[in-house]
Amino acid sequence: MLRVHSSTVMPGDTFLALRGIDDDGHNYIKEAIDKGASCIIAQEGDYPVKTIIEKDTRAYLAKYLNELYADKLKKVELIAISGANGKSSAAYLTYQLLNSLGTKCAYIGSLGFYVDDEKKDLKNTTPDLYELYELIIESANRECEYLVIEVSEAAMYQRRLEGLKFKYVAITNTDENLLNTTNNPNILLLNKVKRYGYALINADDPAVNSLQLERNRHILFGMKKSDCQINDVHLYEDHSIFKLNADNKMMEINLPLPGKFNIYNYLIAYIIASLTGAKSEDIILSTAYLKVPGGRYQIFKKDDSTVIVDNANNKQRIINIVEKVKNFTKGKIIILIGSKGTNDKETRQDLGKTAYELSDYAIFTTDSPYWENPETIINDMVEGLDENKFEIIVDRKEAIKKGINMLMPGDTLLVLGRGDDPYQIIDNEKLPFNDVNEVSKYTKNK
């Protein structure tokens, strides 16, 4: 049996060493041999068992898996959704919509692996190649017609999708830091569209022209002139209504999700459902039952005030949420946020400054500090800010309680950064903690 994790090696197995950005399988070859590996496939080295040296072990693995599971790969079409923001929601909405229309679909992403309403937790948003193939094969064995995969930037840079081709690739939007780079992960992904597939591109994205590769067939969506164009948008606290011009028809959509960015996420699901053969009237009927993933703009009420839990953890996503809540907030906007221990000081300061400037009051607390001192992280976030407009509460549970208790009628509290994440990682120990559960103790779900 071919193994890529030394911990799973059994006597007689072949161990293949994969190189990643943060880890290198070559460091585990001795452990694999000690556990009984009879063959090593590596890019370099001399070992006391049968050894095969390959220039690129990741390409070798992709070819091996592709040939081994060729029949299974033909049974399920792959959909990839990526972008700076919204890819989780867009992928999950696509999964929901296809299944509700009778097209069996599985989902892989930051929420886990979903198939037949069963969930399996995943270590990464986009698993590495070996695990990804296992999930593709399981989807095929469960008779799924489609598998939608949320693709992270790291997955593209680390070649976790090596050798795979996609019937549909959708890009929600482009990170502003990648607009002028040659190594744009979105473009790397768009080169994986099958010859008979489609690339779905946001017409309002600054990078729209560079994303339209000559090799692909394109469907554009957005506010600007496009194949799937939206206009006459009306945004409300818990839903959106807009006109959609697609397939030479003008339709009114009542989307049970708030915010303009959710309209864009929905358009991806709509287009893919349409490409699979669903009629527009059936798609619109199924739209009424769509839900965003837990912890994504999840609304709670406390008397005449509002609490919203969301996993927004970067400047643009915070801006999007604040712009949305301004439409219905009559009182103050309070932001509660922390920063992960894996973020550098510049990222922490950017988060802190953004939350401070966009709110009437900010509460800075912990996220997952990992091995770092939480107070050091928070101090990085608040450096240079006026102490009169924020406070620090290191314990996130106490911070949430304080934030809710200080709400006055018409106020909105944004609990940001973690969404429905079930754990905080403190001193590298996973401790059960969930923002949604904590907020629920003091409020009621809308």
Dihedral of alpha carbons 134, 137, 141, 144, sign: positive
In angstroms, the CA 361 to CA 380 distance is 18
**Bridge-partner residues for 80, per DSSP?**
149, 169
pTM of the model: 0.85
Of the candidates 298, 274, 297, the residue with the CA atom closest to the CA atom of residue 284? 274
The predicted pLDDT at position 181 comes to: 65
Instruction: Reduce the DSSP state of residue 105 to 3 states and report it.
Output: strand
- SS3 for 80? strand
Q: Quick check: helix, strand or coil at residue 87?
A: helix
Per-residue pLDDT of the chain (446 residues; tens, 9 = 90+): 899 999 999 999 999 999 876 789 999 999 999 999 999 999 999 999 999 999 999 999 999 999 999 999 999 999 999 998 889 999 999 999 999 999 999 999 999 999 998 999 898 899 999 999 999 999 999 999 999 999 999 999 999 999 999 999 999 998 877 766 667 899 999 999 999 999 999 999 999 999 999 999 999 999 999 999 999 999 988 899 999 999 889 999 999 998 898 999 999 999 999 999 999 999 999 999 998 888 888 999 999 999 999 999 888 889 989 998 998 899 999 999 999 998 999 999 999 999 999 999 999 999 999 999 999 999 999 999 988 899 999 999 999 999 999 999 999 999 999 998 889 999 988 899 999 999 999 997 76
User: What is the homologous superfamily of the domain 2-55 according to CATH?
Assistant: MurE/MurF, N-terminal domain (3.40.1390.10)
Please report how the helices 260-275 and 87-100 are oriented relative to each other, as an axis angle in degrees rounded to 10.
40
Considering only CA atoms, which of 297, 341, 345, 303 is closest in space to residue 321? 297
pLDDT of residue 20: 76
The pLDDT value recorded for residue 446 is: 65
For the chain, give the number of residues.
446
Domain ranges of the chain: 2-55, 68-287, 298-445
The CATH code of domain 68-287 reads 3.40.1190.10
Pick the CATH number of 298-445 from 2.60.200.20, 1.10.760.10, 3.30.300.130, 3.90.190.20: 3.90.190.20
What is the rounded distance in angstroms from the CA atom of residue 243 to the CA atom of residue 71?
A: 42
Q: Identify the H or E element spanning 130.
A: helix 129-141
> In sequence order, which residues have a C-beta less than 8 Å from that of residue 435 and are 6 or more positions away?
295, 309, 396, 400, 415, 418, 419, 420, 421
Q: What is the pLDDT of residues 303-316, one digit of tens each?
A: 999 999 999 988 88
Task: Please say whether the beta carbons of 61 and 4 come within 8 A.
Answer: yes
Handedness of CA 388, 321, 172, 79 (dihedral sign): positive
- Lookup result for tokens 């839900």: 291
- pLDDT tens figures, 353-399: 999 999 999 999 999 999 999 999 999 999 999 888 999 999 999 99
* Residues whose CB is less than 8 angstroms from the CB of residue 272 and which lie 6 or more positions away in sequence, other chains included: 79, 94, 97, 98, 148, 168, 170, 200
